[in-house]
A and B are shown apart, each in its own frame.
Chain A
Amino acid sequence: MIRAAWHSRFSYGVLLLPALLITVGVFLCSLAPTFAFSFYTFVPPASMQPTFTLHNYAAFTHPVYLGYIVVTARISVISTVVAMILGYPLAYAIARAKSARTRRALLFVVTTMFFVHTIVRAYAWVAVLGRNGPLSTLLEAMGVGPLRLLSNEFAVTVGTIHWLLPFAIMTLIGPIQSVDPALEDASRNLGATELKTFTSVTLPLTFPGIAAASLVSLTLGFGMFVTPMILGGGLVTMLAKFIYEETVFSNNYPLGSAATVILLALATTVSVVVSRFFEARTKVR
């Protein structure tokens, strides 16, 4: 009996081994040098010294660098909120579709959008917002002077919302589906209108799901790289873009590493909050 248990535990270990080897040996170990280098001293033009300094972190108290963090946070927060507001009704329509065909059609659109290449999704907005694009042409025809719609924070925010939206919808479907329709029916039977049923039954019950989806979408927003690269036109610097440019172009690996650790800290803090949140939710149930 004991031998059998030991045997099965051993074989499960063997099954886990390849995946753990890759995740720990490649991914987790790779974080160590980044962490270490963030305390190294940068020697211009392109090298570094292993002398301990906090200078790379202190740099982020400078208004310009602090600005990058603020812009990153602002774009992710606004995009997340808008994506949740735009996504909820669609997720609800999918979760509570009366016909299987409607559900399949809507899911098809959303999943396809999720799978379309990130660069294509960002470029599509270049086509829409470009100086010679349809929106500018339309606005000028309406007499609204030439506006710069691209290469600013607005464009990056719109692109980020568009990128997060399919993800937001797909994460919201689950929580909405898990609300028992009988509860909504009970509310209607007791004379509540559709609106009242939604605001006092469905919405509160899906609140934990919305919060969890928002936090994950926030972490995705923090790491946005492609969208600011394509829609920001070099004028909107989010942390990920800063890290890339600081290391690959300026060879300042210590500062880039410090920015990476800061980004990582932001992302993991949010992730930990998410998992705590889920734990709390399952305990209540």
Chain B
Amino acid sequence: MNIVQGTATRRKAPTGSRHTGDRASASRAAMSLADQLSRLGIAVVKGVRAFAIVFLVLPLVVAAHQALLPTVAFELLPKNGFTLRWFGVLFREEFLSAVGVSLFIAAVATTISLAGGTLAALALARSSFRGHEFVNMILLSPMMIPPVVKGLSFTLYFAIIGLRPGLASLLLAHIVITLPYVIRVVYPCFYGLDRALEEASRNLGATNFQTFWRITFPLIRPGVFAGAIFSFIMSIDDVGVSIFLITPDTTNVSVLLLTWANSVADNTLAAVSVTLVAVTLIASTVVERWVGFDSILGGIRR
């Protein structure tokens, strides 16, 4: 309603100034200068916006193109044609086992974080006690800390408590990494909830647990799903913590790719990059369809 009225008035404004006579011509000249400046400003903003999109996406396109080239040398259309041979890396034992480790750690860490994080989010959203803010801050603190700080600290701490490097230590570290993201994403879901529904369930004789499982959980399921995706991706994405904790048997994709980036000088990494981008595109599409990006935005804002 407001907006409609706004546009109507705006359209009237120039016709109004036409009647004001000679004195207005000077101010009209000034207005047109301001208008021109404004137009220039808008053009600059549009330019920056276009540049930002190109800047974001183009490097990935270049990497995708590179994955299809026979050598590292750039050729827009290679003389000997494009090739798929660099994609052979995807079936290499070393790569597959690293993928296995990454997926396993991400899946288990996400499951545990999801359980612990959803409960904590519920408690935080429903309670108010002295130190509420403080508990909230403590729970979210791991994501404010640079990954390498966590990585080194976990190495030293795990050595002291006698936890050897291996799957268990990697898993524990990844639970710490993913937990705050789950809390952050799931937390806002409890606010949009109609508590009368829970009340009704209890009045009809359901226990607290039944109420949570049959009423509350289905209502927050999109948020929990978004939290799971977020947590999974953050676990796969981690390099700074994992690099301190891996052993030759538990090398994950991140650490393997970092090693390759510093040692392999062919198009192998480009091929892996294209594949990972394709997987990410699928994940994004699924999230878009199922929950929409707005619940994801909550997790990114810190």
User: Are the CB atoms of B149 and A19 closer together than 8 Å?
Assistant: no
Q: Which stretch from A49-57, A61-69, A126-134 is at the chain B interface?
A: A126-134
- Residue A77 at the B interface, CB < 8 A? no
Cα A29 to Cα B273 in complex, Å, equals: 36
Shortest A35–chain B CB gap in Å is: 9
Report B-chain residues with C-beta under 8 Å of the C-beta of A236.
Answer: none
CB-contacts of B81-102 with A (<8 A): none
Residue of B nearest to A256 (CB): B152
Report B-chain residues with C-beta under 8 Å of the C-beta of A271.
Answer: 144
Report A-chain residues with C-beta under 8 Å of the C-beta of B10.
Answer: 188-189
Shortest B88–chain A CB gap in Å is: 18
Contact of A198 among B41, B172, B277 (CB under 8 A): B41
User: Are the CB atoms of B127 and A167 closer together than 8 Å?
Assistant: no
**A interface SS class:** helix
Report B-chain residues with C-beta under 8 Å of the C-beta of A189.
Answer: 6, 9-10, 13
Contact of B283 among A115, A126, A223 (CB under 8 A): A115
Shortest B44–chain A CB gap in Å is: 9
- Interface size of A in residues (CB-CB distance below 8 Å): 102
Cα A260 to Cα B240 in complex, Å, equals: 13
Shortest B89–chain A CB gap in Å is: 13
Residue of B nearest to A159 (CB): B59
- Residue B135 at the A interface, CB < 8 A? yes
Shortest B263–chain A CB gap in Å is: 11
User: Are the CB atoms of A188 and B6 closer together than 8 Å?
Assistant: yes
- Residue B42 at the A interface, CB < 8 A? yes
CB-contacts of A106-130 with B (<8 A): 107-128, 130
User: How would residues 233 to 270 of chain B score, 1 for a CB under 8 Å from any chain A CB and 0 otherwise?
Assistant: 10011011001100000000110011001100000011
Q: Which stretch from B18-26, B47-55, B196-204, B217-225 is at the chain A interface?
A: B47-55
Cα A8 to Cα B123 in complex, Å, equals: 10
User: Are the CB atoms of A132 and B74 closer together than 8 Å?
Assistant: yes
Residue of A nearest to B122 (CB): A15
Contact of A16 among B124, B179, B237 (CB under 8 A): B124
User: Are the CB atoms of A33 and B139 closer together than 8 Å?
Assistant: no
User: Are the CB atoms of B145 and A267 closer together than 8 Å?
Assistant: yes
Cα A118 to Cα B273 in complex, Å, equals: 10
- Residue B160 at the A interface, CB < 8 A? yes
- Residue B117 at the A interface, CB < 8 A? yes
Shortest B94–chain A CB gap in Å is: 16
CB-contacts of A1-24 with B (<8 A): 8-9, 11-13, 15-16, 18-20, 22-24
User: Are the CB atoms of A181 and B3 closer together than 8 Å?
Assistant: yes
User: Are the CB atoms of B157 and A33 closer together than 8 Å?
Assistant: yes
CB-contacts of B44-81 with A (<8 A): 45-46, 48-49, 51-53, 55-60, 62-63, 66, 71-74
Report B-chain residues with C-beta under 8 Å of the C-beta of A240.
Answer: 146-148, 240
Residue of B nearest to A241 (CB): B148
- Residue B206 at the A interface, CB < 8 A? no
Cα A181 to Cα B129 in complex, Å, equals: 37
User: Are the CB atoms of A104 and B288 closer together than 8 Å?
Assistant: yes
Q: A120-B276, A126-B261, A188-B6 are in contact. Are A30 and B150 (CB under 8 A)?
A: yes
User: Are the CB atoms of A116 and B144 closer together than 8 Å?
Assistant: no
Contact of B273 among A12, A120, A256 (CB under 8 A): A120
Residue of A nearest to B52 (CB): A86
Cα A22 to Cα B2 in complex, Å, equals: 50
Residue of B nearest to A174 (CB): B301
Q: A19-B116, A170-B297 are in contact. Are A27 and B150 (CB under 8 A)?
A: yes
Q: Which 10 A-B pairs have the closest CB atoms?
A: A223-B146, A193-B38, A124-B59, A30-B157, A19-B120, A195-B38, A195-B41, A15-B123, A185-B6, A18-B116
Q: What is the interface of chain A, defined by CB distance below 8 A to chain B?
A: 8-9, 11-13, 15-16, 18-20, 22-24, 26-34, 37, 85-87, 89-90, 92-93, 104, 107-128, 130, 132-134, 136-137, 162, 165-167, 169-171, 173-174, 181-182, 185, 188-189, 191, 193-196, 198, 216, 219, 222-223, 225-226, 229-230, 240, 243-244, 247-248, 253, 256-257, 260, 263-264, 267-268, 271, 275
> Can you list 8 pairs linking A and B with CB atoms under 8 Å apart?
A23-B138, A23-B141, A27-B141, A30-B150, A93-B49, A132-B74, A189-B9, A223-B145
Contacts A162-B56, A267-B146 known; 19 new A-B pairs at CB < 8 A: A12-B129, A20-B138, A22-B116, A30-B150, A109-B53, A117-B254, A124-B62, A124-B63, A127-B63, A128-B63, A134-B74, A170-B297, A171-B300, A189-B6, A194-B41, A219-B146, A222-B146, A225-B148, A225-B239
